[in-house]
Chains A and B, each alone.
Chain A
Amino acid sequence: MYLHNIDYKGILRYNIIMSTKSPSLKPHYAKSSSVPKVKKISAETIKEMKSLIRQNREIEEKLKKTYGYIHE
Protein backbone atom coordinates (compact mmCIF):
# COMPACT_ATOMS: atom_id res chain seq x y z
CA MET A 1 0.00 0.00 0.00
CA TYR A 2 1.28 3.44 -0.87
CA LEU A 3 0.81 6.35 1.45
CA HIS A 4 -1.09 8.34 -1.15
CA ASN A 5 -3.76 5.63 -1.28
CA ILE A 6 -4.77 6.07 2.35
CA ASP A 7 -8.06 7.90 2.76
CA TYR A 8 -6.97 10.26 5.55
CA LYS A 9 -10.06 12.44 5.20
CA GLY A 10 -12.28 9.36 5.49
CA ILE A 11 -10.45 8.15 8.59
CA LEU A 12 -10.72 11.58 10.18
CA ARG A 13 -14.43 11.81 9.39
CA TYR A 14 -14.99 8.29 10.77
CA ASN A 15 -13.19 9.19 14.00
CA ILE A 16 -15.20 12.38 14.43
CA ILE A 17 -18.49 10.60 13.83
CA MET A 18 -17.56 7.76 16.22
CA SER A 19 -16.53 10.20 18.93
CA THR A 20 -19.96 11.83 18.80
CA LYS A 21 -21.97 8.60 18.84
CA SER A 22 -23.60 8.00 22.18
CA PRO A 23 -25.61 5.19 23.74
CA SER A 24 -28.90 7.15 23.62
CA LEU A 25 -28.01 9.95 26.01
CA LYS A 26 -31.02 11.96 27.04
CA PRO A 27 -31.16 15.25 28.93
CA HIS A 28 -32.40 15.03 32.51
CA TYR A 29 -34.35 17.68 34.37
CA ALA A 30 -35.58 17.77 37.96
CA LYS A 31 -39.33 17.23 38.23
CA SER A 32 -39.81 19.88 40.84
CA SER A 33 -37.66 22.25 42.78
CA SER A 34 -38.41 23.71 46.15
CA VAL A 35 -38.58 27.47 46.27
CA PRO A 36 -36.14 28.80 48.86
CA LYS A 37 -37.33 31.10 51.54
CA VAL A 38 -35.53 34.38 51.91
CA LYS A 39 -32.38 33.77 53.92
CA LYS A 40 -32.40 35.09 57.43
CA ILE A 41 -28.90 36.40 57.89
CA SER A 42 -28.35 38.00 61.21
CA ALA A 43 -26.00 40.87 61.83
CA GLU A 44 -24.04 38.42 63.96
CA THR A 45 -23.52 36.04 60.99
CA ILE A 46 -22.26 38.86 58.77
CA LYS A 47 -19.94 40.02 61.55
CA GLU A 48 -18.57 36.49 61.88
CA MET A 49 -17.99 36.16 58.12
CA LYS A 50 -16.20 39.49 58.02
CA SER A 51 -14.02 38.35 60.89
CA LEU A 52 -13.06 35.13 59.01
CA ILE A 53 -12.12 37.12 55.90
CA ARG A 54 -10.11 39.60 57.95
CA GLN A 55 -8.24 36.82 59.81
CA ASN A 56 -7.36 35.14 56.51
CA ARG A 57 -6.10 38.42 55.04
CA GLU A 58 -3.96 39.05 58.10
CA ILE A 59 -2.34 35.61 57.74
CA GLU A 60 -1.66 36.29 54.04
CA GLU A 61 -0.16 39.69 54.80
CA LYS A 62 2.07 38.12 57.45
CA LEU A 63 3.23 35.44 54.99
CA LYS A 64 3.88 38.07 52.36
CA LYS A 65 5.95 40.14 54.80
CA THR A 66 7.92 37.12 56.02
CA TYR A 67 8.49 35.24 52.78
CA GLY A 68 7.69 37.82 50.13
CA TYR A 69 4.91 35.71 48.66
CA ILE A 70 1.62 34.08 49.59
CA HIS A 71 1.79 30.30 49.65
CA GLU A 72 -1.43 29.04 48.05
Chain B
Amino acid sequence: MAIFMSEKIEDFLWEKFIVLDNDFLSELFKNEKNTEELLKTLISAQFIIDPLTQLEFLRDIYLPQQRRLREKFLKPPIFKIEISDGEEFNLLLQNALLLSKIYAHNNQKSRSSVVDLFLAARVMYLHKDHLLLTGNKKDYNLHIFNTVATISIEQGDGGMKTYSLLAFNKEKFDQLNKDLNRLDLQE
Protein backbone atom coordinates (compact mmCIF):
# COMPACT_ATOMS: atom_id res chain seq x y z
CA MET B 1 0.00 0.00 0.00
CA ALA B 2 1.47 3.32 -1.07
CA ILE B 3 1.82 6.60 0.81
CA PHE B 4 1.79 9.97 -0.95
CA MET B 5 2.88 13.13 0.84
CA SER B 6 3.03 16.81 0.03
CA GLU B 7 6.34 17.89 -1.46
CA LYS B 8 9.03 18.77 1.09
CA ILE B 9 6.79 17.85 4.02
CA GLU B 10 9.89 16.82 6.00
CA ASP B 11 11.33 20.36 5.75
CA PHE B 12 8.01 21.90 6.69
CA LEU B 13 7.65 19.74 9.79
CA TRP B 14 11.18 20.29 11.02
CA GLU B 15 11.04 20.43 14.84
CA LYS B 16 7.28 20.94 14.95
CA PHE B 17 4.76 19.34 17.28
CA ILE B 18 1.97 17.45 15.53
CA VAL B 19 -1.22 16.89 17.51
CA LEU B 20 -2.72 13.65 16.22
CA ASP B 21 -6.43 13.07 15.79
CA ASN B 22 -7.57 9.55 16.68
CA ASP B 23 -8.14 8.58 13.04
CA PHE B 24 -4.47 9.10 12.15
CA LEU B 25 -3.31 7.38 15.34
CA SER B 26 -5.51 4.39 14.45
CA GLU B 27 -4.08 4.43 10.91
CA LEU B 28 -0.58 4.14 12.39
CA PHE B 29 -1.74 1.07 14.33
CA LYS B 30 -3.02 -0.66 11.18
CA ASN B 31 -0.08 -1.44 8.96
CA GLU B 32 3.49 -1.83 10.17
CA LYS B 33 5.13 -1.08 6.81
CA ASN B 34 3.23 2.21 6.44
CA THR B 35 4.00 3.15 10.03
CA GLU B 36 7.71 2.53 9.55
CA GLU B 37 7.73 4.72 6.43
CA LEU B 38 5.77 7.51 8.13
CA LEU B 39 7.96 7.47 11.23
CA LYS B 40 11.12 7.65 9.16
CA THR B 41 9.78 10.50 7.01
CA LEU B 42 8.32 12.53 9.88
CA ILE B 43 11.18 11.85 12.29
CA SER B 44 11.92 15.53 12.86
CA ALA B 45 8.45 16.21 14.30
CA GLN B 46 7.17 15.25 17.74
CA PHE B 47 3.83 13.44 17.78
CA ILE B 48 1.55 14.83 20.49
CA ILE B 49 -1.36 12.88 21.92
CA ASP B 50 -4.05 14.77 23.82
CA PRO B 51 -5.38 12.77 26.81
CA LEU B 52 -8.81 12.79 25.13
CA THR B 53 -7.34 11.22 21.99
CA GLN B 54 -5.64 8.64 24.21
CA LEU B 55 -9.06 7.88 25.70
CA GLU B 56 -10.62 7.52 22.23
CA PHE B 57 -7.80 5.18 21.13
CA LEU B 58 -8.06 2.95 24.20
CA ARG B 59 -11.80 2.91 24.79
CA ASP B 60 -14.17 0.03 24.09
CA ILE B 61 -11.47 -2.53 23.32
CA TYR B 62 -13.02 -5.91 24.02
CA LEU B 63 -9.94 -8.10 24.53
CA PRO B 64 -7.50 -7.16 27.36
CA GLN B 65 -4.65 -8.45 25.18
CA GLN B 66 -5.51 -5.93 22.45
CA ARG B 67 -5.83 -3.11 25.01
CA ARG B 68 -2.37 -3.92 26.38
CA LEU B 69 -0.90 -3.80 22.86
CA ARG B 70 -2.45 -0.37 22.34
CA GLU B 71 -1.14 0.90 25.68
CA LYS B 72 2.38 -0.25 24.79
CA PHE B 73 2.04 1.37 21.36
CA LEU B 74 1.49 4.82 22.92
CA LYS B 75 4.64 4.74 25.02
CA PRO B 76 7.49 7.21 24.35
CA PRO B 77 9.67 8.10 22.49
CA ILE B 78 7.36 8.03 19.44
CA PHE B 79 4.43 9.74 21.16
CA LYS B 80 4.20 12.35 23.87
CA ILE B 81 0.97 12.50 25.83
CA GLU B 82 0.47 16.19 26.64
CA ILE B 83 -1.28 16.41 29.99
CA SER B 84 -2.38 19.89 31.05
CA ASP B 85 -2.41 21.04 34.68
CA GLY B 86 -5.52 22.62 36.19
CA GLU B 87 -4.69 26.18 35.13
CA GLU B 88 -3.77 25.26 31.55
CA PHE B 89 -6.81 22.97 31.27
CA ASN B 90 -9.01 25.91 32.23
CA LEU B 91 -7.43 28.07 29.49
CA LEU B 92 -7.96 25.28 26.94
CA LEU B 93 -11.57 24.97 28.06
CA GLN B 94 -12.10 28.70 27.49
CA ASN B 95 -10.48 28.48 24.04
CA ALA B 96 -12.74 25.53 23.20
CA LEU B 97 -15.86 27.44 24.24
CA LEU B 98 -14.77 30.50 22.27
CA LEU B 99 -14.10 28.37 19.17
CA SER B 100 -17.54 26.76 19.53
CA LYS B 101 -19.16 30.21 19.56
CA ILE B 102 -17.33 31.16 16.37
CA TYR B 103 -18.22 27.78 14.81
CA ALA B 104 -21.88 28.42 15.63
CA HIS B 105 -21.77 31.44 13.35
CA ASN B 106 -20.10 29.51 10.55
CA ASN B 107 -22.42 26.50 10.21
CA GLN B 108 -19.91 24.36 12.02
CA LYS B 109 -21.54 23.55 15.34
CA SER B 110 -23.10 20.20 14.44
CA ARG B 111 -19.89 18.74 13.00
CA SER B 112 -17.42 19.15 15.82
CA SER B 113 -17.36 16.82 18.82
CA VAL B 114 -16.09 17.90 22.24
CA VAL B 115 -12.81 16.09 21.51
CA ASP B 116 -12.45 17.97 18.19
CA LEU B 117 -13.00 21.26 20.03
CA PHE B 118 -10.35 20.41 22.61
CA LEU B 119 -7.78 19.43 19.97
CA ALA B 120 -8.52 22.67 18.14
CA ALA B 121 -8.21 24.61 21.42
CA ARG B 122 -4.80 23.02 22.14
CA VAL B 123 -3.45 23.80 18.65
CA MET B 124 -4.79 27.36 18.99
CA TYR B 125 -3.13 27.75 22.42
CA LEU B 126 0.25 26.53 21.11
CA HIS B 127 -0.15 27.70 17.54
CA LYS B 128 3.43 28.91 17.08
CA ASP B 129 4.78 25.40 16.69
CA HIS B 130 1.80 23.03 16.94
CA LEU B 131 -0.08 21.60 13.97
CA LEU B 132 -3.02 19.22 13.81
CA LEU B 133 -3.11 16.03 11.72
CA THR B 134 -6.61 14.72 10.97
CA GLY B 135 -8.54 12.72 8.41
CA ASN B 136 -11.68 14.78 9.05
CA LYS B 137 -10.76 18.33 8.30
CA LYS B 138 -14.45 19.25 8.12
CA ASP B 139 -14.51 18.82 11.92
CA TYR B 140 -12.38 21.95 12.14
CA ASN B 141 -13.38 25.37 10.91
CA LEU B 142 -11.55 25.78 7.64
CA HIS B 143 -11.38 29.57 7.96
CA ILE B 144 -9.49 29.26 11.23
CA PHE B 145 -7.52 26.08 10.45
CA ASN B 146 -5.73 26.09 7.11
CA THR B 147 -4.45 22.99 5.33
CA VAL B 148 -0.68 23.27 4.91
CA ALA B 149 0.16 19.73 3.75
CA THR B 150 -1.50 16.37 3.14
CA ILE B 151 -0.64 12.70 3.55
CA SER B 152 -2.59 10.17 1.48
CA ILE B 153 -2.49 6.50 2.41
CA GLU B 154 -3.75 3.74 0.15
CA GLN B 155 -6.22 1.47 1.95
CA GLY B 156 -6.68 -2.30 1.82
CA ASP B 157 -9.81 -1.98 -0.30
CA GLY B 158 -7.97 0.09 -2.93
CA GLY B 159 -9.40 3.40 -1.73
CA MET B 160 -7.30 6.33 -0.62
CA LYS B 161 -7.56 8.07 2.75
CA THR B 162 -6.21 11.60 2.96
CA TYR B 163 -5.03 13.22 6.18
CA SER B 164 -4.65 16.99 6.40
CA LEU B 165 -2.07 18.90 8.36
CA LEU B 166 -3.84 21.97 9.73
CA ALA B 167 -2.34 25.19 11.05
CA PHE B 168 -4.14 27.76 13.21
CA ASN B 169 -4.69 31.04 11.35
CA LYS B 170 -4.49 33.68 14.09
CA GLU B 171 -5.22 36.59 11.77
CA LYS B 172 -8.47 35.04 10.58
CA PHE B 173 -9.40 33.97 14.10
CA ASP B 174 -8.91 37.53 15.39
CA GLN B 175 -11.21 38.84 12.66
CA LEU B 176 -13.96 36.30 13.44
CA ASN B 177 -13.58 36.92 17.18
CA LYS B 178 -13.92 40.66 16.57
CA ASP B 179 -17.16 40.03 14.66
CA LEU B 180 -18.44 37.91 17.55
CA ASN B 181 -17.62 40.64 20.10
CA ARG B 182 -19.35 43.24 17.95
CA LEU B 183 -22.50 41.10 18.01
CA ASP B 184 -22.29 40.84 21.81
CA LEU B 185 -21.99 44.60 22.13
CA GLN B 186 -25.08 45.22 19.97
CA GLU B 187 -27.38 43.87 22.67
Q: Chain A residues in contact with chain B, CB under 8 A?
A: 17, 19-22, 25-30, 33, 35-41, 45-46, 49-50, 52-57, 59-60, 63, 71-72
Interface 9-residue window, one of B1-9, B91-99, B158-166: B91-99
B127 touches A46 (CB 8 A): no
Q: B136 at interface (Cβ–Cβ under 8 A)?
A: no
Cβ of B113 < 8 Å from any Cβ of A?
no
**Cross-chain contact A22 with B129 (CB below 8 angstroms):** no
Hey, which bits of chain B sit against chain A, CB under 8 A?
A: 15-17, 29-32, 35-36, 39-40, 43-46, 60-63, 65-66, 69-70, 72-73, 77-78, 91-92, 94-95, 97-98, 101, 104-105, 124-130, 173, 177, 180, 183-184, 186-187
Are A29 and B127 in contact, CB atoms less than 8 angstroms apart? yes
Tell me whether A20 and B31 are in contact in the complex, defined as CB-CB below 8 angstroms, given that A50-B36, A56-B66 are known contacts.
no
B17 contacts across to A, CB distance below 8 A: 33, 36
- How far apart are the CA atoms of A41 and B46 in the complex, in Å? 11
Give how many A-B residue pairs fall within 8 Å (CB-CB).
Answer: 107
Given contacts A41-B43, A45-B78, A71-B62, contact A53 B97 (CB under 8 A): no
Residues of B within 8 A of A63 (CB): 63
B15 touches A38 (CB 8 A): yes
Instruction: Give A45 to B44 CA distance when docked, in angstroms.
Output: 16
A46 near B183: Cβ-Cβ < 8 Å: no
Contact between B128 and A33, CB atoms less than 8 A apart: yes
A35-B78 in contact given A17-B183, A20-B105, A26-B94 (Cβ < 8 Å): no
Please give the distance in Å from A33's CB to the nearest CB on chain B. Answer: 5
A49 touches B78 (CB 8 A): yes
A53 to B78, CA, bound (A): 14
Q: Is the beta-carbon distance between B104 and A19 smaller than 8 angstroms?
A: yes
Q: Pick the contact of B101: A22, A29, A56, A59 (CB < 8 A).
A: A22
What B residues does A50 contact at CB under 8 A? 32, 35-36
Given A36-B15, A50-B35, are A25 and B97 also a contact pair (CB < 8 Å)?
yes
